[in-house]
Amino acid sequence: MVERVETQRRKAYVIRLFTAQLIVTVVGMLMVYPIARMPGVFSVVTGALVALLPHAFFIQRMGILHSKRTSRSAVHLFRAEGGKFGLTVALFSAVFVVVPPSNPAFFFSAYVAIVLMHGLTPLFMRRHRTLY
């Protein structure tokens, strides 16, 4: 029973985090569109994807959403974190080689905003909520 509640709590956190990151991405796109039109919006989207894809990889690798796959060992954590870091480096390289952003300021602003949402999401969580 406790394991099920923990799984529900983790799922709620991940859903809120993804929702907050999606909202930040859309707000960034709306703010950039009047200034730089579609090339600026594309820079924001690529910056958001470079932040979101490694985070999704980490969540999947750690098994955060599945109660039976959750492992609290340091080896799994370091493997997942190493994979996340490697994927981030690969995505940055791919973006700047294959499709360089038209405005790097928008790209990096979107990336930083998405990464910072991980620390701000707990503020959006309800404190006393039962998950039964």
SS3 category, 71: coil
As a whole number of angstroms, the distance between CA 23 and CA 131 comes to 25
As a whole number of angstroms, the distance between CA 64 and CA 42 comes to 30
Note the pLDDT tens digit of each residue in 11-38. 888 888 999 999 999 999 999 999 999 9
DSSP state of 117: H
**What is the per-residue DSSP string for 10-38?**
HHHHHHHHHHHHHHHHHHHHHHHHHHHHH
**What is the per-residue DSSP string for 35-69?**
HHHHHHHHHHHHHHHHHHHHHHHHHHHHTTT-TTT
Position 128 scores a pLDDT of 45
As a whole number of angstroms, the distance between CA 122 and CA 103 comes to 31
Position 86 scores a pLDDT of 96
How confident is the chain (132 residues) per 10-residue block, as mean pLDDT? 73 88 95 95 96 93 70 78 95 94 94 90 62 46
Is 96 within 8 Å of 111 (Cβ atoms)?
no
**Model-level pTM?**
0.83
